[in-house]
Each structure stands twice: as C-alpha cells, then as structure tokens.
Structure 1
C-alpha cells in the first residue's frame, strides 16, 4: 500500500499517516521541551485501530497533566538524592533534613533505588517496609522512611516526573503508641500534700483521690451515701 499523503493540520493537532513500512504512525503534540521547542511523541502500530486507541490515551494524559514530560527519566535513587540535596535541604530545618538524609541513604536508596520514579508502585514500598522490620528496624523507623518517600515523590508528581505518588498510596506499618510511664509520689511527697490539702474545706476529696488513685471525674461521682465518716475522740 502506498503511503497515504499527510494532511496539513493546525498546530497542536495529532498527525496520523500510513507509512511505507506498512505501519500506521502518529505524532502527538505533548507540550514543550525545556528549550521551548514543541515536543511531539512519535508512536507506531500495525493497524489503525490500535494506533487511534494509543493516540487517545496519550492525548488524555496530556490534557490531564499526567503525561511523562520530555527529558531524562529519573531512577528513584537519582531523584531522591536530587530532592534531598537540591530541593528539601534549602527549605526545611536542619533536624528535618538530617532525618530525610538518613532515610534516603540507609533505607530508600538501597531498597528501591533501581526502580524508575514513573514506574514505582505502592507494593514496592510496602515490601521495603516489611524487609526493614524483618531485618530488625522498628515500625517507627519504617514509618519515617515512608514519610520521607511520600514527600519526595509528591514533589516528583508536582514536577511532572511521575503520574502518581506511590508512597501516598502505600500502607505504612502501624506504630504502637508508647504507654506513658507514670512515676508515683514518694511517701514524703504524699505526707506533704496531705498537710496542705487538710487546710482546705474540700480536703476529703483530695484524701480520697490519694488513697484510691481516682481520677477527678470518679471523685465527683462518689455518692455521699457510699461512705461512713467517723470522728476519733
């Protein structure tokens, strides 16, 4: 089949034609390069229907702002180091930067650094978190790596380097809330407190709390009929 003559299209429209190689071709406008030149993605398929379906997919990504932009493709390793040293470092506190740097260097780069940013999936991160805990890291450490990844890949999405934030979709490990350790009063402290509260009209309220360890709400809930008061002579 002879090559179909290309029809002249307005700027910004997709050009579709049948080539001498027996395949259908399209050049889809996708935006502009860093130097301001128009960027058109060339695609080819063996039949016209498959080509049109791919054209529609690319045009939808372009219109939604989720298409891969021209330029170098970022690996996770390269992006994380670029982000932590050239983006985050200048806008966060020193302590926050230190936390990011450790998470990137010790956990994220060794664990998922070889993946491409635009092809990273939530399952890659969830697998990393499980490996971290299996190797002895605490859940809180895995959670810190998760927060770092979520922030870094969120910036990648905003800059058009990826269509989705895989870390925002991943499920981090649950961090157990540490129980608050309560240090009881010493005998001397209780004696001093009793001397002071005995000077008040509602001293019985505080004596009851000290004796039984009741919270304030429970102290107010004690009915007077529950107690029998005796006076020593």
Structure 2
C-alpha cells in the first residue's frame, strides 16, 4: 500500500507479510491507521546512537558553529565526549530501543571509572540535546 511520498518524489510503498491472511489483514489495517494519523515510521532501520551522534555533530552542530550560535571549542568538547564516552558505552544501541536503564548504566560506568560528576553531567547534557533533536526529526 502507498503511505506517502518519499523525499525524491516517488511513492512510498510498504508491504506486509504474515503466516495467515488474518495476520496480514491486521498488519495492513494497523499501517492504514498510522497513515491516517500521520504517524507512519520512516522506511529502514532506526539509526544507532553512534550513527545519530555522528550526524548530529557533523550536521546540526556544524550549522550552529557556522551561524555563530555555538563556539568551535564547544563543538570540539562535544566531539571529545562523544568519542570517549557516548559511542563506546551506548553507540551500538538503536535509537528506538534506547532505554533509561542504558543511560543509567553508562553514567554509573563513568562514575565507577573515576570521572567527576561534572563530566557525567556534560555527557548527559550532550546526549539530552542530541536525543531531543532526534525526537523532533522523527528518528
């Protein structure tokens, strides 16, 4: 069924499979309901935290630096914290599967490795901003 239009202008068609006809019918009706409410998910897999953080830093934060709304040193700090803490601790999780428990565990790991509370707070703020933008963009 067609659920919308892709960014390149072609129709966005979705297919559903199931073991029984009733299961396929249920899945199609669910997709129709999502289409009617405008909440159809984007095609493909959700990005991992590592993929999203790379996009966030390279696209969103770079734009903020060029517009003068973010200092270049701030972006350098974001990249450093992302490279040393966010990607190694959370990078393999998909954004749609990321849970608060994962963040709690990452923060605990940082504290147990001797990081100061201010470092943990900075990492939390970077993640919080990046995840808010991911939600706004439907990621």
Q: TM-score, normalised by structure 1?
A: 0.51
Query: Cα gap change, 1:136/1:59 in structure 2, threshold over 3 Å: closer, same or farther?
Result: farther
**Which of the residues 95, 103, 106 maps onto 1:117?**
95
> Does structure 2 retain, via aligned residues, the 8 Å contact 1:112–1:124?
yes
Deviations 1:54-95 (A, max 9, x none): 334434444555443125642211210121122112212224
In structure 1, what is the equivalent of residue 67 of structure 2?
Answer: none
CA gap 1:67/1:44 in 2 versus in 1, 3 angstroms: same
Contact residue 66 and residue 160 of structure 1 kept, 8 A: no
Determine if the alignment matches structure 1 residue 45 to structure 2 residue 23.
no
Instruction: Report if the CA contact (8 A) 1:80-1:152 is conserved.
Output: yes
Task: Select 2:133's aligned residue among 151, 155, 158.
Answer: 155
Question: 2:85 maps to what in 1?
Answer: 107
> Can you give the 5+ residue segments of structure 1 that lack an aligned partner in the other structure?
1-26, 162-233
Residues 12-39 of structure 1, C-alpha deviations (whole Å, 9 max, x = no match)? xxxxxxxxxxxxxxx3x33222211111
Compute the RMSD of aligned alpha carbons: 2.2
State whether structure 2 residue 4 is matched by structure 1 residue 31: yes
Give the structure with the higher percent helix.
2
Q: Which runs of 5 or more structure 2 residues have no equivalent in the other structure?
A: 65-69
Where do residues 2-151 of structure 1 align in structure 2 (5 Å cutoff)?
A: 27=1, 29-70=2-43, 73-91=46-64, 92-151=70-129
Larger radius of gyration: 1
**Counterparts in 2 of 1:148 and 1:128: CA distance versus 1, 3 Å:** same
Aligned residue pairs, count: 134
Q: Secondary structure at the match of 2:15?
A: strand
Summarize the Cα distance change of 1:48–1:71 in structure 2 as closer, same or farther, 3 Å threshold.
closer
SS in 2 for 1:31: strand
